[in-house]
Amino acid sequence: MIWKILLFVLMVWVIVAAFIFPAPQQVIGEASRIFYFHIPQAWVAVVAYIVSMVASIRYLKSGAMVNDDRARVAAALGLMFSILAMITGSIFAKVTWHSFWNWDPRETSILILLLIYGAYFALRTAVIGDERRARLAAVYAVFAFLTVPFLLFVVPRVLPSLHPSDSIVDASGRFTMSWQTAAVFFPSLIAFTGLFAWIYTIRLRLCTAERLRNEEMEA
Amino acid sequence: MPKNGTGLTGKSFAVLRKDLLCEFRTRYAVNAIVLFGITTLTVVSFSVGQQSLAPEVYSAIFWIIIFFSAMSGLAHVFIREEETKTAMVLRLTADPTPVYLGKLGYNVLLLALLEAIIAPLFFILTDARLESPALFIVVLILGMIGLAGATTLIAAIISKAGVKGALFAVLSFPILLPLLIGLINATSKAFATGEVYFSAASSELQLLVSYGVIMITASLLLFEYVWEG
């Protein structure tokens, strides 16, 4: 219970401070405030995929259905957060680059992440039989994860980027965030991750309860 | 299976020979994939007409044709086993690894045939100019291996699913996108005038080689989970 209250305080702090503190990026100005919400959302979208992939590997190793529940719940949340990250990113792109979509490497990466989540659920709906669905979905989640290194390290080198890359570290790798920005950004990162963990535990309990009820009715 | 070989290579070739024989009798996948490619190429050639486009555009068009043609036929190698109910017999007579390698070899050959037909026609029907044939052939071979390596496991997955139609392209596209970006960039280097083709495309070639190796290795590890159920 105590960490839920802490999460509430943290979230309130992030929402208030994001609007009253100086804007994080002087060149872009007020529009750069979206940074406090956009980056944590993109971060959670990736974390959710890693949780889903790890649960998938554990399912393939153990065959315990609870791991399939974990993979599915994490993927559903990842889908939601990647849509949010995409929308906030598009709004920012429209304001600063005058176009909602530019095929920037990071936009390409989040789009592929979204497509993988979409394909994952398309596959789940197309397979009949719980075990077989769980196994095929787990194989796909692990296989699709292999594109991540290509997206993170290879594609940005091949395509030019418009993303403001100096907002956290500059070209020489030095930390450039002002203390006000850091005082909002890192709590925001923690708050969004905590929010993900909270929704994840609720959804997981619900999913497991539903599955157990169905198994009981079949038995 | 006639003259069932021993060892991994022998067994893989036995599966490959079986699939080639089945294909030779029905010619379903070859017809689908090659005719789809030729149809798309004709549409492109018709709509582009006599205009001459930038090398980047030609290489993008070329790989779009290959990608969608591949999507129309590569899944057949596993779907056939499920439709004719022979998957169970194959599971009893062979281990997962030779089955995967045989099917992979079959898809590589199918793509080689597709590329061997589409690539010459592409230069006849459009104004694209091939400046570096050596680089182009290397990219074609790497593309063939990458495409087959990534899609053979997906084909095995969707052969177990109830609805097969559009699922193959939906599941394959996000995984193939890094490969397609590399292929299109490398091919545009072979189409554009330059002096040092291979060093200009070196980072793309590294991407293509590592992609093929990673996807085939991962498929070998994951295939048994798909095949055994």
Task: Kindly provide the ipTM of the predicted complex, given to two decimals.
Answer: 0.88
Domain that holds residue A76: 32-160+180-218
Identify whether A27 is part of a domain.
no
User: Is-contact B14 B21, C-beta < 8 A?
Assistant: no
Q: Residue A156: pLDDT above 70?
A: no
Q: Which residues of B touch A122 (CB under 8 A)?
A: 167, 170-171
Do A158 and B204 make contact, defined as CB atoms within 8 angstroms? yes
Q: Which residues of chain B have pLDDT under 70?
A: 1-5, 229
Q: What's residue B191's pLDDT?
A: 87
Q: How many CA atoms lie within 13 A of B105 on its CB side?
A: 18
For residue A175, what pLDDT band results from cuts at 50, 70 and 90?
low
CB spacing of A123 vs B157 below 8 angstroms: yes
CA torsion angle for B92, B93, B99, B103 (degrees, to 10)?
-110
Is the pTM value of this prediction over 0.90? Answer: no
Residue A115 has pLDDT above 60, yes or no: yes
Residue A14: inside a domain: no
Contact (CB<8Å) B154/A143:
yes
Tell me how crowded residue B73 is: count the other CB atoms within 10 A of its CB.
24
Q: What is the mean pLDDT of residues A192-203?
A: 94
Number of domains in chain A: 1
* pLDDT higher than 60, residue A185: yes
Residue A24 covered by a domain: no
Chain B: give the shortest CA distance to residue A111, in Å: 9
Question: Model confidence over B41-97: pLDDT tens digits?
Answer: 999 888 887 778 888 899 999 999 999 999 888 888 888 888 888 888 888 888 889
Alpha helix (H) residue ranges in B7-163: 7-26, 28-48, 55-73, 76-83, 87-93, 96-125, 133-159
Quote the CA–CA distance of A155 and A157 in Å, as a whole number: 5
> Does some domain include residue A169?
no
Q: Which residues of B touch A159 (CB under 8 A)?
A: 181
